[in-house]
Structure 1
Amino acid sequence: MSKLAALDQLLEQYQQLSYHTDPVLKNKLHEAQDWLKTRIQKTHEESFSQKENVLMAKYFMNRLYGGPEFDDLALQIERLLKYAHKAEKIIPENAIKTGLKSVGLAVLAMQLDEQVAAQLLQDFPVTQKIDNDIMCQTLIKLDQQQLRLEQLGLLDDLGGALDKYMRSFIMHTAFKMCRGTAAKYHFELMYDFIGEGFVAMKPMKSAAKFIHEFTAKERIIVENVHSGKINPFEI
């Protein structure tokens, strides 16, 4: 079986999202994601601003938490799957495994955030601006607690994979040597998606440590929201 088979399932999940054919939902989804990213930046400002963490923080915001950037990547993934046998020769196996974890997280983020956007449209006027109270009400109503915790668990898994696979000099060298071939077959976006993980890790002592500190705070927020704590996003 192709090592990229799991990508096919992830792509199918992504293609089934309703916002692709609903422009109102799409706009609200992007609003919800913008709110989420702003909140994450505020919560983790101290960690994200540390020199060694800046690139990984950007990787989080631009790659792992969905958004418009993922739409173009998904189109390339669809094309890549048609040439899976070539891609598997181009990209090292451990890079593929780590890339799959990253893509899976991005798709899950889109699924959860689309649920939030749909609920917002159901409960509030389309022009209603999202604030902390509205988001908190929506998250409680959707009862995403377990799914959000699973999302954080997958992030912890990714941190371990980044430290285990992506710090190898041999792997990094092999990956860099693939750039020309990736461009030849027009897999640049997928290559860059994985490659940014390499670049983001370079200044860090441990990606797993950074991610664990991130998920620890996020678990507190999930608990705060669903336990009805006042100002749940303030920790």
Structure 2
Amino acid sequence: MSPEGLAILENLEKVAAERRSRADDSLLDAHTRAVKTYQHERFAHTYVDLMAQPRYADASRFFLEQLYGPQDFTDRDSQFARVVPGLVRIFPHELVSTVRSLSELHALSEEMDTAMGRRLQSSRVDALAYARAWQEVGRPQVRARQIELMLNVGGALDRYTRNPILRHSLRLMRGPARAAGLAALQGFLESGFDTFRAMKGGTEFLATIAARERQLAALLFAVDLRSDRATTELSGLP
């Protein structure tokens, strides 16, 4: 198998390992789900202005539902793991590279969400509890990598919209992808492609995402939770 295929499988195994650890600990599972739900709400709160703009609304929802959603992708990921050899064989190299970035982002997110869940004192997550867990987990390089991967996926989808041959190839792959058990992945790629094409250029949108996510990460690492000003500094969070 190609190096990219092996990397995708390795990332999917990391995701499965995180889920197994939570399946054996109902309290950890509840806390981690609370983290995911809070992050979903936080993203919606941070980008409420973009969601109100017709040009960016669908792209914002795509990020919210596909990259920040609290939903369980166990079935989808199990499907991917079974058919990675077919994925590498059927899909163009550019798309496989994007799937590799997506799988790494997924693995890092599951790892960090579990780590955050371990630090929560309850399943009630507010801005202060989230910031406290964030600081206790630390690992700023991983946080930076998560943002980088998210932007890589978005940037790739934006580039694909300028490649009509790739879009045509993607449409032609619907039948083979379904036959190979890759219908969910096919749907993700087509949805992302169509969303970015309708936006007619995602440079400004992705720059806004990059600036806000990096600013938020810096704030969460820097805020002094012992200070009376902590609540005020975190007032932009839900």
Query: TM-score, length-normalised on structure 1?
Result: 0.87
Does structure 1 retain, via aligned residues, the 8 Å contact 2:43–2:68? no
Does structure 2 retain, via aligned residues, the 8 Å contact 1:67–1:110? no
Q: What does the per-residue CA deviation read over 1:72-118, in whole Å, with 9 as the maximum and x for residues that have no partner?
A: 2211111113xx1x333432221121222222222221111111111
Equivalent residue number for residue 129 of structure 2: 134
Displacement of 1:141: 1.8
Gaps of 5+ in 1: none
Q: Cα RMSD between the aligned structures?
A: 2.1
1:31 and 2:26 aligned: no
Identify which of 186, 189, 194 aligns with 1:191: 186
Displacement of 1:227: 1.7
Equivalent residue number for residue 93 of structure 2: 93
Gaps of 5+ in 2: 224-229
Identify which of 41, 45, 48 aligns with 1:42: 45
Q: 1:11 to 1:61 in 2, by over 3 A?
A: same
Higher mean alpha-carbon deviation, 59-68 vs 97-106, is at 59-68
Does structure 2 retain, via aligned residues, the 8 Å contact 1:159–1:208? no
Whole-Å separation in 1 of the counterparts to 2:9 and 2:133: 31
1:171 and 2:166 aligned: yes
Displacement of 1:10: 0.8
Does structure 1 retain, via aligned residues, the 8 Å contact 2:160–2:193? no
Does structure 1 retain, via aligned residues, the 8 Å contact 2:158–2:193? no
SS in structure 1 at match of 2:198:
coil
Does structure 2 retain, via aligned residues, the 8 Å contact 1:11–1:78? yes
Q: What does the per-residue CA deviation read over 1:3-31, in whole Å, with 9 as the maximum and x for residues that have no partner?
A: 42221111121122122433332222111
Written as runs of structure 1 = structure 2, the 5 A alignment for 1:8-19 is 8-17=9-18, 18-19=21-22
SS in structure 1 at match of 2:236:
coil
Equivalent residue number for residue 232 of structure 1: 234
Equivalent AA in structure 2 for residue 100 of structure 1? R
Equivalent AA in structure 1 for residue 196 of structure 2? M
The number of residues matched between the two structures is 227
Displacement of 1:167: 3.1
Displacement of 1:66: 5.5
Equivalent residue number for residue 106 of structure 1: 106
Whole-Å separation in 1 of the counterparts to 2:110 and 2:96: 21
Q: What does the per-residue CA deviation read over 1:35-91, in whole Å, with 9 as the maximum and x for residues that have no partner?
A: 11101111111013221222222221222235334222211111113xx1x333432
Displacement of 1:32: 0.8
Query: TM-score, length-normalised on structure 2?
Result: 0.86
Q: 1:104 to 1:168 in 2, by over 3 A?
A: same
Does structure 1 retain, via aligned residues, the 8 Å contact 2:8–2:99? no
Equivalent residue number for residue 115 of structure 1: 115
Equivalent residue number for residue 68 of structure 2: 65
Equivalent residue number for residue 222 of structure 1: 217
